[in-house]
Amino acid sequence: MATRTTGTLSTATTRPVVTAREVRRSFGGTVVLDDVDLAIDPGEVVALLGGSGSGKSTLLRILAGLDPDASGEISRMGSQAVVFQEHRLLPWKRVADNVSLGVTGGGVRERVAAALAEVGLADRGRSWPAELSGGQAQRVAVARALVREPALLLLDEPFGALDALTRLKMQTLFGRLRAEHNFAALLVTHDVDEALLLADRTLVLDGGRIVENAPVPLTRPRAADDPGFGPVRRHLLGRLGVQSGSDRGSAS
Amino acid sequence: MTTSSLVEAADRSTVAPAPTPARSRRGAHPGRRWRRALTPVGLLLVWQAAAQTGRLPPEKLSAPSEVARAGWRLARDGTLGVHLLDSLTRAGIGLVIGGALALVLGAAAGLLRLGDDLVDPPVQMARMLPHLGLVPLLIIWVGIGESLKITLVALGAFFPIYFNTYAGIRDIDERLVEAARACGLGQLARLRHVVLPGALPSLFLGLRLALGAAWLSLVVGEQVNAQTGIGFLMMEAREFSQTEVVVLGLLVYALLGLLSDLALRMLERRTLTWRRGLQAR
């Protein structure tokens, strides 16, 4: 915790998978992002925390190249894939066709089957999205991202719309996939525990700026009831403007 | 957290067992279908009886058996076939012209801001004109020949298809388009994989409404100086006081509407299987 620095780039030895410089975005007169700098190294999981309306989803959309009206400089290395909060599967395509959407190159069918098997839905390729539960649909969305073999996975509150139990399972799944494929990830979330469980580094976005940029000082494997969680969680919640965080911290 | 899990639970409960109750209900009352046929058959019998006892003057309304006999006679000597083919051709050509125009303009207005600004206002204004009321003007413009009938059908078909194309495109979830963009789909691929299938249910609705409007326009159009067609058959029969042929013509029009709607619904069911995904399981 003593090594915590604010608002600076991480000192990278390898070339980052994405680098953003002086990213600005305003809607009407409201400035949502104000000179944000950010870099993510290969294989690094970065959690982007912030209250609602802090611009974290906006930043993710800019990094994904989905916001033409933002200014700033983005350079990307390697491929990207996005998982949104809603599964966003096309209802008129079967699960396998949703996963293979836009995928080019040889052996697409085999790759799709492999991706579906990895999220535990090997037998649902012929299903329609409407036949899936919320958790299953979100796993298909993860498979749709995986099949692109991304160097960087952008996740916009990917488990936010799921029930608590499903969310825990999805977090475990994410940890396993991340260990197997070694992709870098930017995880936008408002859940401090989720960030501490999954991320190597946390960013806190407030008032359009990154006010906190620190590695997570916890060894893997992690569990939410580790004694080390308390102080870090308290600190991050304080950064997010939640003062009652001390109660939760001492409780665990 | 609680709301999202509640929503999901609600989703699951509405999802799985939904199709079964309707089916089991129909199974529980096998006699229901026959019961529903009771009134129409009864009315037909009363009509027949009234005609046979002379209470219904035959020059006002012929007996159902007379209508059936007329139908059989005209079908056998080929008259009905010839006129039916002419009516169908008019409806077909009109539908294709009006539908294609509506599809192009509706897509332009739905997809492009410029198209919306240029195309939509005049179409919205023209919609307020009852197109069947245009007959006198159309006669001045295109005469009383085939072009009048086809123009009327095309006009009738245009509006429902235009509005449903426009609405179908506008109602597509913007987030799905964004997801497709994130998957690396270009503009053309997005049109093919997202916009077209997304607008298809609405297009089918437009087509069904257009078919209804097309038959209606045909009925009106064929009463103006037609030399062939079901409408001509009816007008000619009126001059010779052949009431049974007039009724037959009405029946043919009704059947045309019914059959075309049925065919379209079948096509819709086969094309939009994803909407019935739950039942298909």
Which of the 8 DSSP states describes residue A225? T
- In chain B, what residues touch A128 (CB-CB under 8 Å)? 274, 277-278, 280
Q: Using CB atoms, which residue from A90, A127, A148 is nearest to B193?
A: A90
Sheet with strand A45-49: strands edge to edge = A80-83, A152-156, A184-189, A45-49, A201-206, A209-215
B268 burial class (0-12, 13-18, 19+ CB within 10 angstroms)? Answer: middle
Count CB neighbours of B212 within 10 A: 15
Tell me: pLDDT of B21 over 70.
no
d(CA B74, CA B242): 13
Give chain B's contact residues with A (Cβ, < 8 Å): 1, 4-5, 8-9, 11-12, 15, 175-176, 178-185, 189, 193-194, 197-198, 200, 272, 274-275, 277-278, 280-281
Q: Is residue B35 part of a domain?
A: no
Tell me: pLDDT of B11 over 90.
no
Q: Which residue of A has its CA nearest to B196?
A: A92
* Cβ-defined contact of B179 to A84 (cutoff 8 Å): yes
The domain spans of chain A are: 1-9+24-79+150-252, 91-149
d(CA B267, CA B204): 9
Among B6-15, B66-75, B99-108, the minimum mean pLDDT is found in B6-15
Closest C-alpha to A222, from A245, A244, A200? A200
* Cβ-defined contact of A66 to B11 (cutoff 8 Å): no
Proportion of chain B above pLDDT 70, given as a percent? 87
pTM: 0.80
Count CB neighbours of A178 within 10 A: 18
Q: Is the dihedral of CA A16, A222, A116, B178 positive or negative?
A: negative
Ramachandran angles phi, psi of A101, nearest 5°:
-55, 120
* Cβ-defined contact of A92 to B274 (cutoff 8 Å): yes
- Cα-to-chain-centroid distance, residue A12: 20
CATH of domain A1-9+24-79+150-252: 3.40.50.300
The per-residue pLDDT for A223 is 81
- In chain A, what residues touch B189 (CB-CB under 8 Å)? 102
Identity of the amino acid at B233: L
HSE-CB at A42 with a 13 A cutoff on CA atoms is 9
The per-residue pLDDT for A8 is 42
* Cβ-defined contact of A92 to B185 (cutoff 8 Å): no
The per-residue pLDDT for A244 is 56
B52 burial class (0-12, 13-18, 19+ CB within 10 angstroms)? Answer: exposed
- In chain B, what residues touch A124 (CB-CB under 8 Å)? none
Q: Using CB atoms, which residue from A81, A127, A134 is nearest to B11?
A: A134
What does the block give as tokens for A195? 């960030």
Tell me: pLDDT of B251 over 90.
yes
* Cβ-defined contact of A163 to B5 (cutoff 8 Å): yes
Per-residue pLDDT reduced to its tens digit, A202-245: 999 998 899 989 898 888 778 877 888 888 888 899 888 887 54
Rounded to a whole number of angstroms, the CA Rg of chain A reads 18
Q: Cα(first)–Cα(last) distance of chain B, in Å?
A: 31
CATH number assigned to the domain comprising residue B222: 1.10.3720.10
HSE-CB at A225 with a 13 A cutoff on CA atoms is 0
Identify whether the C-beta of residue A143 lies closer than 8 Å to the C-beta of residue A121.
yes
d(CA A246, CA B82): 88
Domain extent at residue B156? 84-228
What's the total number of domains in chain B?
1
Q: Is residue B46 part of a domain?
A: no
Per-residue pLDDT reduced to its tens digit, B186-201: 999 999 999 999 999 9
What does the block give as tokens for A122? 């090997």
What does the block give as tokens for B76? 């056998």
Tell me: pLDDT of B19 over 80.
no
Q: What is the pLDDT along chain A (252 residues), one digit of tens a residue?
A: 334 433 444 444 578 999 999 999 999 888 899 989 999 999 999 999 988 888 899 999 999 999 989 999 999 988 999 999 999 999 999 999 999 998 988 889 999 999 999 999 999 999 999 999 999 999 999 999 999 999 999 999 999 888 999 999 999 999 999 999 999 999 999 889 999 999 999 999 998 899 989 898 888 778 877 888 888 888 899 888 887 544 444 333
Q: Is residue B243 part of a domain?
A: no
- In chain A, what residues touch B193 (CB-CB under 8 Å)? 90, 93, 101
Closest C-alpha to B213, from B205, B202, B224? B205
The per-residue pLDDT for B276 is 67
Least Cα separation, residue A31 to chain B (angstroms): 23
* Cβ-defined contact of B278 to A91 (cutoff 8 Å): no
Contacts of A231 (CB under 8 A, 6+ apart): A1, A249
What does the block give as tokens for B196? 């077209």
Contacts of B21 (CB under 8 A, 6+ apart): none
* Cβ-defined contact of A88 to B176 (cutoff 8 Å): yes
Neighbouring-strand partners of residue A188: A48, A156
What ipTM was estimated for this complex? 0.85
Tell me what the mean pLDDT of segment B177-193 comes to: 94
* Residue to substitute from A62, A90, A149, interface B, most B β-carbons within 10 A: A90
d(CA B199, CA B179): 17
Tell me what the mean pLDDT of segment B95-101 comes to: 97
Q: How much is the mean pLDDT over chain A?
A: 87
The per-residue pLDDT for A145 is 94
The runs of H, that is alpha helices, within B29-173 are 32-52, 64-76, 79-111, 113-127, 135-142, 146-170
Tell me: pLDDT of B111 over 60.
yes
- In chain B, what residues touch A94 (CB-CB under 8 Å)? 274
Q: Which residue of B has its CA nearest to A135?
A: B8
The runs of H, that is alpha helices, within A127-217 are 134-146, 164-181, 192-198
Q: Using CB atoms, which residue from A88, A130, A148 is nearest to B277?
A: A130
* Cβ-defined contact of B4 to A161 (cutoff 8 Å): yes
Q: Is residue B14 part of a domain?
A: no
Q: Using CB atoms, which residue from B4, B9, B182 is nearest to A162?
A: B4
Closest C-alpha to B168, from B204, B133, B192? B204
* Cβ-defined contact of A90 to B182 (cutoff 8 Å): no
d(CA A216, CA A1): 8
Identify whether the C-beta of residue A233 lies closer than 8 Å to the C-beta of residue A192.
yes
* Cβ-defined contact of B194 to A90 (cutoff 8 Å): yes
A80-83 and A152-156 strand pairing:
parallel
The per-residue pLDDT for B280 is 46
d(CA B4, CA B2): 5
- Cα-to-chain-centroid distance, residue A200: 12
* Cβ-defined contact of B200 to A91 (cutoff 8 Å): no
Q: Is residue B180 part of a domain?
A: yes
Is the bond preceding A215 in cis, omega lying within 30 degrees of 0? no
Chain length of chain B: 281
* Residue to substitute from B176, B181, B183, interface A, most A β-carbons within 10 A: B183
- In chain A, what residues touch B176 (CB-CB under 8 Å)? 88, 90
